[in-house]
Amino acid sequence: MTTPILTLEGVSKSFTLHLQGGLSIGVMQDVGFSVAPGECLVLGGPSGAGKSSILKMIYGNYRCDVGSIRLQDGDAVVDVATAEPRRILALRKHTMGYVSQFLRVIPRVPALAIVVDAARETGLDEAQAIARAKRLLSLLNVPERLWGLPPATFSGGEQQRVNIARGLAPDRPLLLLDEPTASLDAANRAVVVDLISEKKTAGVAIVGIFHDEDVREKVADRIVDVTRFSPAQAAA
Ligand SMILES: Nc1ncnc2c1ncn2[C@@H]1O[C@H](COP(=O)(O)OP(=O)(O)OP(=O)(O)O)[C@@H](O)[C@H]1O
């Protein structure tokens, strides 16, 4: 098997509810899986099972209580679980990308510039970045008349497609996808499936959450049901 780019081992997570007297709720126990370059691992399981929390731990937004999250970064291996915030920021710039279903709108920055800036983050020059951004926006059916406008006034679906273009524009070896196709129409879902396949062919490792069964079937190499990491399951 190809050397994995990402390996989670013995990861557990609980949340402390400060509004309820510091009550601690265990959400996941002993999470473990690996992902290889070019592979798409889909996290499955019912609402509240902990799928998004796993992505957030990999991205370094949530700290895990114990366990390791080892990420290949060039010749080095970094444990995200214990890495300094500065190291995590560097990983986000070069090594791992995160695409959620929501665009955090930056006031006054036009859609095309948002995607061009993202493409430039991993080293494309201006001309290459513009070409890539235009290709993505066209493929994702964002009308050309909107490219020069800030997305604040775009429809929800248009904003989501700008967001996907921005998330897929840079070249990073690991991509985390948190329901990027939620509320897209069938035609645009199919485009996203093709773009994900392109990334896989380019050797990008993907960990994703897709509620749409059809999308999941098309992109997943493996599906991990995260209910197997629930503390109740572990105690049984
Ligand atoms: N910041 C937080 N503070 C407290 N509890 C949290 C926090 N984030 C997540 N949780 C809890 O952890 C559990 C898992 O949530 P998570 O969002 O990871 O589930 P999910 O499987 O992605 O759900 P969905 O499919 O509905 O998005 C839930 O019970 C949720 O309430």
Residue 104 forms part of a structural domain: no
Residue 74 forms part of a structural domain: yes
Evaluate if residue 236 carries a pLDDT over 60: no
Ligand 1 pocket residue status of 31, Cβ below 6 Å: no
For the chain, how many structural domains are there in total? 1
pTM (2 decimals)?
A: 0.92
Residue 87 forms part of a structural domain: yes
Q: Are 89 and 97 in contact (CB under 8 A)?
A: no
Say what the pLDDT of residue 71 is. Answer: 98
Residue 57 forms part of a structural domain: yes
Q: From residue 75, how far is each of 49, 204, 206 by CA, in Å?
A: 34, 16, 20
Model pLDDT for residues 125-134, shown as the tens digit of each residue? 999 999 999 9
Q: Whose alpha carbon is nearest atom 29 of ligand 1?
A: 48
Residue 229 forms part of a structural domain: yes
CATH of the domain at 24: 3.40.50.300
Retrieve residue 96's tokens: 């791992």
Residue 169 forms part of a structural domain: no
Segment 1-15 shows an average pLDDT of: 91
Ligand 1 pocket residue status of 51, Cβ below 6 Å: yes
Say what the pLDDT of residue 234 is. Answer: 53
Residue 181 forms part of a structural domain: no
* Domain region containing 234: 1-95+205-236
Cα(27) to ligand 1 centroid in Å equals: 8
Residue 53 forms part of a structural domain: yes
